[in-house]
Structure 1
């Protein structure tokens, strides 16, 4: 299959220790590394001053800000921050989503050493999730809070935790007690911006990112300038096409998450690219906005989660003009968050071949908020989904195998965090005696005889459990397998069976998919009842059970949850991940029904 996108072939160095531990690192070197994100901004403002850097929808078109304009505004805002006496101990919290003003404020803060703290906008918009916002405010203790719209976020701004904090809004709604973002843009000529900028170095904290809280209270990850700058050098080394022509990206991924806010945002800034902020999302009612935006501007790169790619695939299949525009300059298709269904993968390959006679690099990677994020990357072409690749230059992966060849993954490198904010105990627990970050994730080699073939993600060790027989169940990988088996009817699911005699799944159905398929379900004490749907799911589960290798992979029973996972109740994080422990605790009655006998809502195989 023809490919012209440049990439760095896998080449790894493997070291086997006497205790069975494997160290894996790239044989490739790391290129030049910037000291600060502000250095990228200065470079491109000088080399491509009129090129669009940041853009967002404005009326029928786009508000576009060039590199030169962004630098000028960043310096003005930075001077306004300095005039308030702000610095490393006075963080700025952002409670609204992606936007040009948000980007300008973040860059200005980093420019003069003020940590920026973007939190999930759901914490501010959903009444029941305000406890998460309060937790973040109490941990961070910001000197300033920014929101794009004071009226839309009024309830969050009125929380007692916000008392005494300067509130800045792009749209103040006429409130005189708030600071207009336009006032920051006026700057303060008396502030010495250059002196403050000179004090910013690789060890300066550029941002604090909140973890998802899927296993505990959200933690504040200290993200240094070095972490962000090194990670972009690692990406440029492994994906050299990024430096050949300026990339362009139309992207919705939220900036409170490390992937959208550090990986994608900084990828554009580091390489002189253009970031068009997509105000749509891959959910019902908002995806049409994404299609509208792509009808106006398409990217050379495309990042998304699997459900987003599935929706995009369906839309491109029906729209030849959009299909042509989408693929004609595309270098990269990058999925994250879960494995991309193979039929979607192959569908994108077929459409790319139809439009331009070649396939872009289709890939994924692995990393954490604590690693800035990319640590392991599939940097060369592969023909299947689910492979995450090899360590990027500068990172060493420490793999601790079990008897089956599955490896616990730990990592060390310059893109790994120094620790969590004000939490020395959990910081110490995050690293082993050799200084490797303990991730809790598991990997397997694609080919144990050839480590250059890369690694495949194999779930989280903390999610694994034992059946009554003592058999281990790898719940993370099984969950991904079951989602593929039940697609598109299941939006998500929880694998159950700890200390029981068999495996079950609690299914959160995709209501839209059920409607499109003509299923009409009724609630029965927290579960869903629909004879036609039950029979379809039983058929799929039985077919998969016949191919299962044993009790560790054979799902014997399932139940459909009537209510979707609740973010206010802690069942779902702002990133859309399930908090499995919380789901099982809150739905203990359903769990008991699932593993009991005689319940008509339980699907048995």
Structure 2
């Protein structure tokens, strides 16, 4: 068993709101907390706290509090911080929803999470409205932040002037958020993360990521994803940095915002790193303010990291985590240039790890020198979820009785306790940082009358980024092209879930028990 080489940090048993804002110094209240990257509009910490409390009061006046679940379908705009923390301040639980989801996917998450309220913005209203109508949600339970006839708006709710409620709950057990994750297999499940989970992971990041109150942090990675939620929204606020929001990725706008708003920390996923390394337009912008580019949500190739470093003259590092771990487990410190950038770095504070041989169940020995044999990475710490919502069997498969979480990723570790992911046991595909569950795509594929059987795995594209690939068995005498397959799936799923590659095969390899042998398919992908 390995314990982080960083000293343990204190993790107070307080709500997220109290941890982020309770110790805010008076002299920081009028400092800028959030900048709208598109318009340049600024929100101070004083204004943000005021809005959060008023929004919490408006929710409480409608009976929303401890035991309530509120859906949030919203891109990265400053108002996200107000409503997200307003929900938590009211004692309710937020279930954050992928902005790319179809109406059916939105409705499924709301139903599974038990959410009776939904917050969105007008560009996403058609999908939100279709989902709300499917669930029979009243119009006044669908809040449209920037306004829509028949629905409450953020300005109208804040104008009601209700004070934030007095709420009481145990931060160690009370659910703050219910993001959805496929874990290591299957369909998305609600990940139960408590206030203590979120507080812990922000505290664990602080000694490793040197973000401070002089920094401006670019937030293009979505707040609905646990990476954006914890490492951007919550961590930046706790470090008293200014958070610069961007609702969706567009390369020229991304570069303009970095240049004009002088962002010093830029958090990305690997596809953005590819653009920074290769696209000629990058040279047209002043990117000298960047101090650190931090990549997460999917593996970053070491050669790609080095290429970005050479081109931009800044540090490029990465980390590792899961929705189930709030998310950070490993982080490479931004100022360390002696750690292999293709690794995931050391464990964050207060975290333990084991490498377990998947065949024997025995722990892999850590060598006195060099690199260990591979083993499945198991982790334990205060950032680990309490389980999956209403999924006791899935929880038991993921978490053992001693609190060890089986990540489904195969790793090695050096004598210096630097970890590297070398393979995976889990089925999950990471496309541009988004989770794609093969089982979901396989179910869609099998709806096609010309498809007899199908399996989906991750395969690398020309840039070394993982994409969903379908192996398809045609029905006898069926005429079916790869484009037919891709078009069929695209009509039924969110954009990030589309099948990008298709290969026709005679039979899907399966075990004696009928389980798809994905490792065999990945070997030929």
TM-score by length of 1: 0.68
**Residue 496 of structure 1: CA displacement?**
7.1
Cα pair 1:394 1:413 within 8 Å, conserved: yes
Q: Could you list the per-position Cα deviations for residues 580-603 of structure 1 after superposition, in whole angstroms to 9, with x for gaps in the alignment?
A: xxx99xx6x7233999xxxxxxxx
Q: Could you list the per-position Cα deviations for residues 115-144 of structure 1 after superposition, in whole angstroms to 9, with x for gaps in the alignment?
A: 111101111xxxxx3222121121122232
Question: What do you get for the CA RMSD once the two structures are aligned?
Answer: 3.4
Q: Give the whole-Å Cα distance in 1 for the aligned partners of 2:277 and 2:293.
A: 12
Cα pair 1:227 1:416 within 8 Å, conserved: yes
Q: Could you list the per-position Cα deviations for residues 284-325 of structure 1 after superposition, in whole angstroms to 9, with x for gaps in the alignment?
A: xx322222322321322111111111212335x6555624xx
Distance 1:81-1:490 versus aligned 2 partners, 3 A rule: closer
Establish whether residue 153 from structure 1 lines up as the match of residue 125 from structure 2.
yes
- Which of the residues 290, 311, 323 maps onto 1:369? 323
Establish whether residue 134 from structure 1 lines up as the match of residue 83 from structure 2.
no
Pairing of 1:455-534 with structure 2 (within 5 A): 455-463=419-427, 483=460, 487-488=462-463, 492=467, 494=469, 525-527=480-482
Establish whether residue 322 from structure 1 lines up as the match of residue 291 from structure 2.
no
**Residue 417 of structure 1: CA displacement?**
0.8
Distance 1:321-1:33 versus aligned 2 partners, 3 A rule: farther
Residue in 1 that maps onto 2:398 = 430
**Residue 45 of structure 1: CA displacement?**
6.2
Deviates more, 1:94-103 or 1:406-415: 94-103
Pairing of 1:98-137 with structure 2 (within 5 A): 98-123=76-101, 129-137=102-110
Q: Give the whole-Å Cα distance in 1 for the aligned partners of 2:486 and 2:497.
A: 16
- Which of the residues 211, 224, 227 maps onto 1:242? 211
Residue in 2 that maps onto 1:72 = 50
Distance 1:218-1:45 versus aligned 2 partners, 3 A rule: farther
Residue in 2 that maps onto 1:503 = none
Distance 1:564-1:370 versus aligned 2 partners, 3 A rule: farther
User: Counterpart of 2:9 in 1: which secondary structure?
Assistant: coil
Establish whether residue 225 from structure 1 lines up as the match of residue 225 from structure 2.
no
Distance 1:577-1:304 versus aligned 2 partners, 3 A rule: farther
Distance 1:564-1:312 versus aligned 2 partners, 3 A rule: farther
User: Counterpart of 2:142 in 1: which secondary structure?
Assistant: strand
Residue in 2 that maps onto 1:552 = none
Cα pair 1:279 1:290 within 8 Å, conserved: no
Cα pair 2:75 2:247 within 8 Å, conserved: no
Pairing of 1:131-530 with structure 2 (within 5 A): 131-149=104-122, 152-158=124-130, 159-164=133-138, 166-173=141-148, 175-176=149-150, 178-189=151-162, 193=165, 195-196=166-167, 199=169, 201-212=171-182, 215-239=185-209, 241-243=210-212, 245-281=213-249, 286-315=250-279, 318=281, 320=283, 322-323=285-286, 326-328=287-289, 330-353=290-313, 359-360=314-315, 362-379=316-333, 380-382=336-338, 384-401=340-357, 405-445=373-413, 447=414, 450=415, 452-463=416-427, 483=460, 487-488=462-463, 492=467, 494=469, 525-527=480-482
Structure 1: segments with no counterpart, 5+ residues: 1-22, 124-128, 354-358, 465-478, 498-523, 529-560, 596-603
Cα pair 1:54 1:66 within 8 Å, conserved: yes
TM-score by length of 2: 0.78
Establish whether residue 52 from structure 1 lines up as the match of residue 32 from structure 2.
yes
Residue in 1 that maps onto 2:442 = none
**Residue 71 of structure 1: CA displacement?**
0.6
Q: Give the whole-Å Cα distance in 2 for the aligned partners of 1:394 and 1:307.
A: 31
Residue in 1 that maps onto 2:505 = 591
Cα pair 1:113 1:200 within 8 Å, conserved: no
**Residue 335 of structure 1: CA displacement?**
1.4
Distance 1:113-1:294 versus aligned 2 partners, 3 A rule: same
Distance 1:495-1:337 versus aligned 2 partners, 3 A rule: farther
**Residue 219 of structure 1: CA displacement?**
0.8
Distance 1:496-1:562 versus aligned 2 partners, 3 A rule: closer
**Residue 278 of structure 1: CA displacement?**
1.5
Cα pair 2:121 2:146 within 8 Å, conserved: yes
**Residue 192 of structure 1: CA displacement?**
5.9
**Residue 170 of structure 1: CA displacement?**
2.0
Cα pair 2:71 2:118 within 8 Å, conserved: yes
Q: Could you list the per-position Cα deviations for residues 561-584 of structure 1 after superposition, in whole angstroms to 9, with x for gaps in the alignment?
A: 9837946645xx77x4789xxx99
Distance 1:414-1:302 versus aligned 2 partners, 3 A rule: same
Distance 1:130-1:289 versus aligned 2 partners, 3 A rule: same
Distance 1:459-1:496 versus aligned 2 partners, 3 A rule: farther
Establish whether residue 38 from structure 1 lines up as the match of residue 17 from structure 2.
yes
**Residue 57 of structure 1: CA displacement?**
4.4
Cα pair 2:266 2:292 within 8 Å, conserved: yes
Distance 1:77-1:453 versus aligned 2 partners, 3 A rule: same
